[in-house]
């Protein structure tokens, strides 16, 4: 009797110890510990860890215990342990600094765990069923012919935008702006916080951006005054336009009040806001600047996008030869002379076929009311040409102050 009792007691203790190993292993993984440092010291195979991660259910207090075997088969249903694992990964990513939380990021985490057979649509079903999806903001779009740039490689088109003002704590001295630059093809980014939005800050960001990403063929932005120059002197270009012309970049202004034309940078701004700025406390501007650099590097080296087939932005961006601005170039110690080139803008014509650029109105074509046209200023011959569907529809003499 005593021998039998002692044997049962030992088995019970061993089982409780096994239960505790399962609980501790899952806790360690969800806290960010590497899988190999969890199962190897326990003398367990990695499949053991994946199994109990899949079994983990915060709503089931007995998830770590063995279950009776059953022959019952349920068809067309996602495996419960896979569903729990996907939800667990999603929640872990949501609580990991700077991480993406989409289906592609979850699939990548599954692959790192050795689980390669779970398709995107299955992950999407799981996170939707568990109310883990937030609907993105949808912009109103106009169903009209719009002049587009074909982007088939890095450094064809960069998009630039300005976020702010934002505040670190209270008070006007804690105000800052973030100036963000992104390559439309690779999604590689460069951004910095500044204590203002003057053109000198924009040109500083562009120099550092082109030193990292390379010089693009086109730079696209909205109609922010610091991008344009002065409304008082509409045919005298500001420093941002001059910098573009100096390096052979064609600046393109999007239509007014149509932020969706900057779709790639707008999506990144959302990532910046939710994944970076609102996820932590910044003690001061210096702290913000340091963390901005950390997040920029993390994004370029770790974030994954469906359009890149699971590769990171830097995997794609660094795979091609780039014309990079030398690190020796100093914006503050060098006068940038005016260079000839092209400056473009896209506008929606009014009911009379007129468009505005800076403070000037141009009659383009009365037979093209409420249509998108592209205007391009050719600085060398001092001409402004308007295009619709790739063909020239109007030419104006456009004298430029080339100071």
Q: Could you say which DSSP state residue 229 is in?
A: B
Asked whether the predicted pLDDT for residue 349 surpasses 80, the reply is: yes
Question: Do 158 and 223 lie in a common domain?
Answer: yes
- The span from the CA of 116 to the CA of 113, in Å, is 8
Question: Do 172 and 219 lie in a common domain?
Answer: yes
Q: Give how many domains the chain has, as a whole number.
A: 2
Closest by CA to 99, choosing from 264, 271, 311, 273, is 271
**pLDDT value of position 9:** 62
Return the higher-pLDDT residue of 331 and 194: 194
Least confident of 72-86, 148-162, 336-350: 72-86
Q: What is the mean pLDDT of the chain?
A: 86
Question: Do 70 and 176 lie in a common domain?
Answer: no
Structure confidence by residue, pLDDT tens digits, 286-297: 999 999 999 999
Question: Do 123 and 160 lie in a common domain?
Answer: no
Closest by CA to 92, choosing from 101, 79, 84, is 101
Task: Collect all residues with Cβ–Cβ distance below 8 Å to 193 and sequence separation of at least 6.
Answer: 176, 177, 178, 285, 288, 289, 292
Question: Do 74 and 168 lie in a common domain?
Answer: no
Banded pLDDT at 134 (limits 50, 70, 90): low
Whether a cis peptide bond, with omega within 30° of 0, leads into 181 is: no
Question: Do 117 and 183 lie in a common domain?
Answer: no
As a dihedral over the C-alpha atoms of residue 227, residue 273, residue 295, residue 305, rounded to 10 degrees, the angle is -90
Structure confidence by residue, pLDDT tens digits, 261-280: 999 999 999 889 888 898 88
- The span from the CA of 354 to the CA of 365, in Å, is 7
Averaged pLDDT for residues 122-141: 68
Averaged pLDDT for residues 31-51: 86
Banded pLDDT at 103 (limits 50, 70, 90): confident
Asked whether the predicted pLDDT for residue 63 surpasses 50, the reply is: yes
- The span from the CA of 374 to the CA of 23, in Å, is 63
**pLDDT value of position 8:** 60
- Burial class from Cβ neighbours inside 10 Å (0-12, 13-18, 19+) for residue 281 reads exposed
The verdict on residue 136 lying in a domain is: no
Tell me the H-state helices in 230-302.
Answer: 239-246, 263-271, 285-302
The CATH code of the domain that includes 336 is: 3.30.420.10
Averaged pLDDT for residues 151-160: 98
Domain residue limits at 364: 146-403
Averaged pLDDT for residues 156-179: 89
The proportion of the chain whose per-residue pLDDT surpasses 70, expressed as a percent, equals 88
Banded pLDDT at 72 (limits 50, 70, 90): very low
Tell me the H-state helices in 303-340.
Answer: 313-317
Question: Do 95 and 180 lie in a common domain?
Answer: no
Asked whether the predicted pLDDT for residue 310 surpasses 60, the reply is: yes
Question: Do 117 and 152 lie in a common domain?
Answer: no
Question: Do 90 and 40 lie in a common domain?
Answer: yes
Asked whether the predicted pLDDT for residue 74 surpasses 80, the reply is: no
DSSP β-bridge partners for residue 342: 378
Closest by CA to 100, choosing from 260, 281, 293, 300, is 300
Asked whether the predicted pLDDT for residue 96 surpasses 90, the reply is: no
Question: Do 122 and 196 lie in a common domain?
Answer: no
Question: Do 214 and 100 lie in a common domain?
Answer: no
Strand, helix or coil for residue 203: helix
Asked whether the predicted pLDDT for residue 105 surpasses 90, the reply is: no
């Amino acid at each position: 009797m005593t021998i039998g009792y002692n044997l049962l007691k030992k088995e019970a203790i061993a089982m409780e110890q096994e239960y505790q190993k399962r609980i501790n292993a899952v806790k360690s993984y969800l806290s960010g510990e590497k899988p190999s440092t969890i199962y190897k010291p326990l003398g367990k195979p990695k499949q053991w860890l994946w199994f109990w991660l899949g079994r983990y259910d915060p709503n089931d207090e007995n998830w770590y215990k063995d279950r009776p075997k059953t022959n019952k088969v349920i068809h067309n249903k996602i495996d419960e342990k896979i569903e729990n694992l996907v939800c667990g990964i999603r929640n872990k990513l949501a609580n990991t600094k700077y991480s993406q939380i989409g289906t592609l990021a979850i699939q990548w985490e599954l692959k790192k765990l050795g689980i390669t057979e779970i398709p995107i649509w299955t992950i999407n079903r799981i996170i939707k069923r568990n109310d883990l999806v937030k609907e993105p903001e949808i912009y109103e779009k106009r169903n009209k012919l719009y002049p587009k740039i074909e982007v088939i490689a890095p450094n064809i088109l960069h998009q630039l935008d300005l976020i702010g003002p934002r505040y670190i704590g209270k008070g006007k001295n804690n105000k800052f702006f973030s100036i963000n630059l992104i390559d439309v093809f690779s999604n590689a980014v460069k951004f910095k916080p500044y204590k203002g939005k003057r053109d000198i800050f924009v040109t500083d960001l562009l120099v550092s951006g082109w030193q990292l990403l390379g010089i693009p063929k086109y730079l696209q932005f909205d109609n922010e005054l610091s991008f344009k120059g002065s409304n008082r002197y509409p045919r005298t270009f500001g420093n941002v336009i001059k910098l573009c012309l100096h390096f052979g970049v064609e600046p393109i202004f999007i239509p007014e009040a149509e932020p969706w034309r900057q779709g790639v940078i707008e999506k990144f701004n959302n990532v910046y806001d939710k994944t970076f700025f609102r996820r932590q406390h910044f003690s001061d501007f210096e702290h913000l600047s340091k963390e901005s650099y950390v997040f920029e590097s993390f994004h370029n080296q770790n974030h994954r996008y469906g359009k890149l087939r699971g590769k990171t932005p830097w995997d794609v961006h660094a795979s091609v030869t780039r014309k990079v601005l030398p690190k020796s170039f100093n914006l503050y110690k060098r006068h940038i002379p005016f260079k000839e080139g092209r400056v473009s803008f896209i506008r929606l014509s009014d009911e009379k076929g007129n468009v505005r650029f800076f403070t000037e109105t141009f009659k383009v074509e009365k037979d093209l009311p409420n249509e998108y046209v592209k205007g391009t200023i050719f600085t060398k011959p001092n001409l402004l040409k308007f295009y619709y569907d790739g063909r020239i529809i109007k030419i104006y003499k456009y004298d430029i102050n080339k100071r």
